[in-house]
Amino acid sequence: MTRREDAVLRVGEQEYTLPVIVGSEGEIAVDINRLRGASGLVTFDRGFANTAETKSAITFLDGEQGILRYRGYPIEQLAEQATFLEVAYLLANGRLPSRPQLDDYADEITHHTMLREDMKHLFEAFPKEAHPMHILASAISALATYYPDALDPGDPWAKDISMKRLLAKVPTMVAWSFRYGRNQPFVYPRNDLDYVANFLNMMFSFPTENYEVDPTVSKALNVLFILHADHEQNCSATTVRVVGSGHANLFSSVAAGVHALSGPLHGGANQGVVEMLESIVGAGGGIGPFVQRAKDKDDPFRLMGFGHRVYKNFDPRAQIIKRYAQEVLAKLDTADPLLEVAMQLEEVALGDDYFIEKKLYPNVDFYSGIIYRAMGFPTELFTVLFAIGRLPGWIAQWHEMQQDPTTRIGRPRQIYVGEPKRDWVAMEDRSA
Ligand code: ACO
């Protein structure tokens, strides 16, 4: 980071000099850390839309140009060449692993995939119809109760083993919550399978017959996980960082991130997209009324899978996923009317003034659900698949924050707009 000329803020007659920070890709920030101390002023920024809370070396994205890079490597290259665990290693360590490093890493992850046997009862405690995101957040929280000796974020051994345990155990948790909801037997992890194939096996195999992992499915899921692996300071990563900034352990911090991801404006949108496409098909397939509703200011309806806080041109992940959706459906020989409707919707929206003016483009969630459907995942599992993919990012963000000596507890200010001081009123004197 280099220093540029300082910025000057004038408020009334007073001037305040503020340092300027420049990132390695030329991003410029005005450092307001000392502004309140010097002036009593705070800044007001809804949704942190204009606030950089941290310096980070993990992910670079340029929303105007549709660029996304993990540790400097373009997402397009990683999606094409890497395995998910290779990307997880890259995000956590800042460099691509050598062959022996990757083999050791994969071996360690593989040997932590089992859950403690008594943890089975945790899944059995949930209602069968529980949403898998809620179960996942609870199960990740529960990990802290199984490994109390490895929770101290200041202990390098504890951090390392927790990061590996989390990455290893989440697919098992997801598969087991799915199996429990279906009254199907739990399938134990298999060490002879890679990360993605093992997950598919735990999800879809039966003890009574052989299950062959379809290479088309496993390749596409590997790509989808990589595309979701990190996205710098998004809602869930920020949640993980804020919770972790109070020195909460990794499991508690990431469980909070899972909750953040579950909302329909964030990761929950992939489920929302398919539900929206289903209602369009159910209503006869006409997209016009849905586009009209999305444009109506008085209607809260939004086109799910459209728009992004940062991408104002295109979402590079959506472009890769669209291509994969077409390929996967063709290879699996599955025609899905939802894909047709999705492509029509994209075409209409991209040519519509409302969406053009507001720079609303398909985001990562727009096509991913269509592939998940073709792979046999039920709709309510889509956001959980996003969560598996996002784990390396949450872990890397938490780790970077814990290592950074300048980290401070996340604690924003507010502008109080409530009542001024007033005195207590006895019950008999209060009006209705
Ligand atoms: N359909 C219709 N109108 C939209 C949409 C949409 N999908 N998205 C944004 N707009 C409109 C808003 O109404 C607003 O209009 P206004 O300026 O007239 O008030 C304008 O575009 C800007 O939208 P904001 O909500 O202010 O943008 P913000 O950056 O806060 O939100 C978000 C981004 C949450 C992604 C939003 O575009 C949205 O709700 N999209 C649908 C849900 C979705 O797909 N979420 C997944 C995002 S990707 C991810 O998190 C993994």
The reported pLDDT for the residue numbered 332 is: 86
∠ CA 337-331-204, nearest 5°, is 85
Nearest C-alpha neighbor of 33 from the set 404, 407, 400, 402:
407
Nearest C-alpha neighbor of 65 from the set 27, 96, 19:
27
Residue for token digits 């204009």?
A: 50
Rounded distance from Cα 234 to ligand 1 centre (Å): 14
Does 307 contact ligand 1 (Cβ within 6 A)? yes
Whether the predicted pLDDT of 80 surpasses 60? yes
200-230: string of b/e by CB count within 10 Å (b at 16+)?
A: bbbbbbeeeeeeebbebbbebbbbbbbbbbb
Which of 236, 238, 360, 364 gets mutated to test ligand 1 (max ligand atoms within 8 A of its CB)?
360
Average confidence (pLDDT) over 178-196 = 96
Q: Is residue 238 within 8 Å of 48, Cβ to Cβ? A: yes
- pLDDT interval class at 313 (50, 70, 90): confident
Q: Nearest C-alpha to atom 18 of ligand 1 is from which residue?
A: 297
Average confidence (pLDDT) over 166-195 = 97
Q: Nearest C-alpha to atom 27 of ligand 1 is from which residue?
A: 309
Q: Is residue 87 within 8 Å of 229, Cβ to Cβ? A: yes
With a pLDDT cut of 90, the percent of the chain lying above it is 90
With a pLDDT cut of 70, the percent of the chain lying above it is 99
Whether the predicted pLDDT of 30 surpasses 80? yes
The minimum-distance atom of ligand 1 relative to the CA of 261 is 50
Give the alpha-carbon dihedral of 214, 215, 221, 224, to 10 degrees.
Answer: -150
Considering 231, 259, 365, 399, which one is annotated as catalytic?
365
Whether the predicted pLDDT of 159 surpasses 50? yes
The reported pLDDT for the residue numbered 4 is: 59
Residue for token digits 């951090």?
A: 159
Give per-residue pLDDT as tens, 239-271: 999 999 999 999 999 999 999 999 999 998 999
- The residues with which 69 forms a beta bridge, in sequence order, are 60, 74
- pLDDT interval class at 1 (50, 70, 90): very low
Average pLDDT, the chain: 95
Give per-residue pLDDT as tens, 104-129: 999 999 999 999 999 999 999 999 99
- The residues with which 306 forms a beta bridge, in sequence order, are 362
Q: In what helix (H) or strand (E) does residue 75 lie, and over which residues does it extend?
A: helix 75-81
Whether the predicted pLDDT of 181 surpasses 90? yes
Which of 133, 302, 311, 363 gets mutated to test ligand 1 (max ligand atoms within 8 A of its CB)?
302
Residue for token digits 């003034």?
A: 353
Rounded distance from Cα 78 to ligand 1 centre (Å): 28
